[in-house]
């Protein structure tokens, strides 16, 4: 009887000790959970600390776009093309106005008889005005106007592509910082799990295996953070290069990877592209220029009529010091009767070039519609993936919460908790990538429609 009582008392003492240890661990885990919750609540602070460093420079997407627009050589070349086209148009228009010229001359003749002066001086002014050029000047003006519209459209398209590249670079920077913040959250969770596992092992409530698993999870999280830090460093260097800053300048990006609305329908996007794409406008300008070139070639067989007037002053006849002046008015008509078929071949060449550009226009319109369709489908896919990634993060957070509660209650395993935390970390990284993809697909669609 005494042995039985001693056995039950010993078992009871063990239960009391276990209960005491469990209460202590429960208080420790509750404190750890509170710390973890506070860490999650400070996600924004973690992201900000990753972005905003002492002496950092705030950068917006507009800053990057403006810097790239200012330094881009392709855009600068396109701007010169516009200036050249404007000068050519001014030349073509100037040819329609009256033309004035001054002329002067001196002639030394052989010694003249009867005392005439061998020195003959002459000077005069002449003004001509083209009455009709057979459509030549009008065609040249139309050609210059079409070239100017084409140069302006080419410049606008180059500008859109530069802005697109700048926005894409900025989005990559935002993705790098978001990945860094997600990696830090994964480290915090893994570190907390390791502390809990060590505490339970020290209290004899868990095996060494749980600690080893937690250590592996923490090491994996550290590797992810190192990769994220490299991505942040690369993004900062790229943005600094775009801003023409020192490559080690710390930056604070003022934007965020938030979902943006896209095009309403595919039909609207295609219609906008066919109407607004600058490269299509440039091609239409080339067609207009080819039509003007055809008109210019046809003008070769038309008469050219010009009106001229002038005044000449000279000491003709060597009657120095006397000078004689006279007015003159002339009407000139020039008609090419035969040029060996050159004009006719120029007309044929211009016709072929015009038809070639029309075929190219049809082909380009088909290609533009294909680009818009592909960009629109990519945007739709990115939106769907973003929705799924958002739900995955919500489910991952709930799974990690339940796994943590089960592990604290002693009905769950360390492997279950670590798996849930790893799944949450992967889901958060996937969400950041999905946000980037959605934003990138959106600006790709805007570029495809010519509205950027």
What is the spatial distance between Cα 361 and Cα 145, in angstroms, rounded to a whole number?
19
Confidence class for position 7, pLDDT limits 50, 70, 90: very low
**Sorting pLDDT into bands at 50, 70 and 90, what band is 111?**
low
Mean pLDDT, rounded, for 364-381: 95
169: its two tokens = 């670079």
pLDDT at 200 over 50: yes
Is a pLDDT exceeding 50 seen at residue 175? Answer: yes
* 310 membership: H or E segment, kind and range: strand 304-314
* pLDDT at res. 229: 92
Of 3-12, 28-37, 202-211, 355-364, which gets the smallest average pLDDT? 28-37
Residue 374: its pLDDT value, please?
96
- The Cα 187–Cα 180 span in angstroms is 11
CATH number of 43-112+131-303+336-449: 1.20.1600.10
Query: 118: which DSSP letter?
Result: S
277 contacts: CB under 8 Å, gap ≥ 6: 157, 368, 449, 450
Q: C-alpha 202: how far from its chain's center?
A: 57
Range from 138-152, 236-250, 317-331 carrying the lowest mean pLDDT: 317-331
Region 263-283: mean pLDDT is 91
Interhelix angle for 266-276 vs 278-298, to 10°? 40
Query: What's the sign of the alpha-carbon dihedral 88, 93, 96, 98?
Result: negative
Sorting pLDDT into bands at 50, 70 and 90, what band is 242? confident
254 near 59, Cβ under 8 Å? yes
Higher pLDDT, residue 5 or 152: 152
pLDDT band at 25 (very low <50, low <70, confident <90, very high): very low
* Max Cα–Cα distance, the chain, nearest Å: 174
Per-residue confidence (pLDDT) for residue 106, from 0 to 100: 81
Assess whether pLDDT exceeds 60 at residue 9. no
Q: Which two tokens stand for residue 201?
A: 């092992």
Instruction: Match 């360390």 to its residue by tokens.
Output: 414
* Integer Cα distance of 179 and 343 in angstroms: 68
Tokens for 167?
A: 């926005």
β 251-253/57-59 pair status = parallel
Question: Which of 29-43, 184-198, 297-311 has the weakest average pLDDT?
Answer: 29-43
Count each helix (H run) and each strand (E run) in the chain, helices first. 10, 6
% of the chain beyond a pLDDT of 90: 57
Q: Count of residues for the chain?
A: 452
Average pLDDT, the chain: 84
What burial letters (b/e) apply to 64-80, b meaning 16+ CB within 10 Å?
bbebbeeebeebeebee
pLDDT at 45: 35
Q: What radius of gyration do the chain's Cα atoms show?
A: 41
Look up residue 300 and give its DSSP letter. Answer: G
Mean pLDDT computed over 256-277: 87
| Digit-coded pLDDT (tens) for 420-444 | 999 999 999 999 999 999 999 999 9
Token pair of 52 as six digits: 């905003």
- Give the burial class of 229: count Cβ atoms within 10 A of its Cβ; 0-12 exposed, 13-18 middle, 19 or more buried: middle
Please report, for the chain, the start and end positions of each structural domain, with discontinuous segments joined by +: 1-41, 43-112+131-303+336-449
Q: Could you tell me if 322 and 307 are in contact, meaning their C-beta atoms sit under 8 angstroms apart?
A: no
Q: How far apart are CA 189 and CA 221, in angstroms?
A: 9
268-272, 412-416, 429-433: range with lowest mean pLDDT: 412-416
pLDDT attached to residue 317: 58
């Amino acid at each position: 009887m005494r042995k039985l009582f001693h056995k039950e008392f010993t078992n009871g003492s063990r239960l009391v000790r276990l209960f005491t240890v469990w209460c202590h661990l429960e208080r420790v885990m509750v404190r750890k959970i509170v710390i973890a919750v506070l860490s999650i609540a400070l996600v924004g602070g973690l992201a900000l600390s990753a972005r905003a460093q002492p002496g950092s420079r705030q950068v917006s997407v507009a800053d990057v776009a403006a810097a790239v627009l200012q330094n881009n050589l392709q855009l600068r070349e396109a701007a010169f093309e516009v200036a050249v086209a404007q000068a050519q148009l001014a030349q073509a228009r100037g040819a329609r106005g009256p033309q004035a010229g001054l002329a002067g001359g001196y002639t030394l003749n052989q010694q003249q008889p009867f005392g005439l002066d061998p020195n003959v001086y002459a000077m005069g002014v002449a003004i001509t005005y083209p009455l009709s050029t057979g459509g030549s000047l009008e065609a040249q003006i139309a050609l210059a106007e079409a070239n100017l519209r084409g140069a302006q459209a080419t410049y606008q398209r180059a500008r859109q592509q530069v802005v697109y590249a700048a926005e894409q670079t900025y989005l990559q920077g935002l993705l790098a910082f978001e990945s860094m913040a997600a990696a830090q959250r994964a480290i915090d969770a893994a570190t907390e799990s390791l502390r809990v596992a060590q505490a339970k092992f020290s209290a004899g409530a868990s095996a060494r295996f749980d600690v080893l698993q937690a250590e592996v999870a923490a090491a994996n999280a550290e590797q992810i953070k190192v990769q994220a830090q490299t991505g942040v460093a690369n993004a900062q260097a790229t943005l600094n290069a775009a801003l023409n800053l020192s490559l080690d300048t710390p930056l604070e990006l003022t934007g965020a990877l938030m979902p943006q609305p896209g095009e309403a329908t595919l039909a609207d996007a295609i219609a906008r592209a066919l109407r607004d794409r600058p490269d299509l406008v440039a091609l239409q300008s080339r067609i207009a220029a080819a039509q003007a070139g055809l008109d210019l070639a046809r003008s070769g067989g038309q008469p050219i009529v010009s009106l001229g007037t002038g005044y000449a002053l000279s000491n003709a006849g060597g009657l120095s010091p006397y000078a004689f002046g006279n007015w003159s008015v002339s009407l000139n008509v020039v008609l090419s009767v035969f040029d060996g078929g050159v004009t006719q071949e120029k007309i044929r060449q211009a016709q072929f070039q015009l038809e070639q550009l029309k075929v190219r226009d049809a082909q380009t319109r088909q290609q533009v519609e294909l680009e818009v369709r592909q960009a629109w489908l990519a945007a739709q896919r990115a939106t769907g993936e973003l929705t799924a990634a958002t739900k995955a993060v919500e489910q991952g957070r709930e799974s990690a919460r339940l796994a943590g509660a089960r592990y604290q209650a002693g009905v769950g395993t360390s492997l279950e908790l670590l798996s849930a935390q790893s799944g949450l970390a992967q889901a958060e990284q996937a969400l950041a990538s999905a946000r980037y993809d959605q934003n990138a697909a959106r600006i790709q669609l805007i570029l495809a429609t010519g509205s950027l």
